[in-house]
Amino acid sequence: MLRVQNLSVHYGMIQAVREVNFEVNQGEIVSLIGANGAGKTTILRTISGLIRPSKGSITFEGNEIQKTVPQKIVASGLSQVPEGRHIFPGLTVQENLEMGAFLRKDSSEMKADYEQIFKKFPILAERKTQDAATLSGGEQQMLAMGRALMSKPKLLLLDEPSMGLAPIFIKEIFTIIQEIQQQGTTVLLIEQNAKMALSIANRGYVLETGNIVLEGTGAELLASEEVKKAYLGG
């Protein structure tokens, strides 16, 4: 579904991503793990069209998208939940969800989709007339995921969904990610919580200073001595 080939990204003279290659197949959860500053978020922002690569190609469902504007990428079926959530303060929960559906033309189906989101995230149904800025961190993460799902993505990009959340919310978020996959949405997950990310992943890649240094199934990477030592506390 997604193929990234020889991807390099620079910020001025600094090379943040170096000749990266990976792919995501339909129906998978693929996790990209690595320390802070490894280039994970840069890769997602480049896939989403927010950053232009200095080299390489990004192919989504057979079409190259590395020069495509972000709104067309979203319209093609690829949506991102950004690091830090970036919900719209001053808008209600309902209005934030409506922003996720901004590019959709099938208004007749949208009511059923809102109901699906509220079923998946019951707390959002309780808070739908509330200013989104007043939600807790975990609730805002659920809203950011619901907003992205309202664009009906074929591929969902998740950037650090557990960051700053209490353990009870982290467990809930990862359960929801698995449910999203089971309901037919492919997931590319970037996450510092390597143990949680690999435990739900079909496959994973380890990124260090802009390079992919290891790849394998989620189970293989969890069992890897290198991964254990670097990311799982020994």
Instruction: List, for residues 46-65, the tens digit of each pLDDT value.
Output: 999 999 999 999 999 999 99
CB 91 within 8 A of CB 132: yes
Q: Which domain holds residue 62?
A: 2-231
Model confidence pLDDT, tens digit, residues 116-173: 999 999 999 999 999 999 999 999 999 999 999 999 999 999 999 998 888 888 999 9
Please tell me the distance from the alpha carbon of residue 232 to that of residue 221, in angstroms, as a whole number.
11
3-class DSSP state for residue 116?
helix
Position 32: which residue type?
L
Q: How many domains does one find in the chain?
A: 1
Q: Are strands 29-33 and 14-24 parallel, antiparallel or unpaired?
A: unpaired
What φ, ψ does residue 67 adopt, rounded to 5°? -115, 10
Query: What CATH number is attached to the domain comprising 127?
Result: 3.40.50.300
In order, the DSSP letters of 133-183 are GGS-HHHHHHHHHHHHHTT--SEEEEE-TTTT--HHHHHHHHHHHHHHHHT
Residue in the structure block whose two tokens are 């919900």: 87
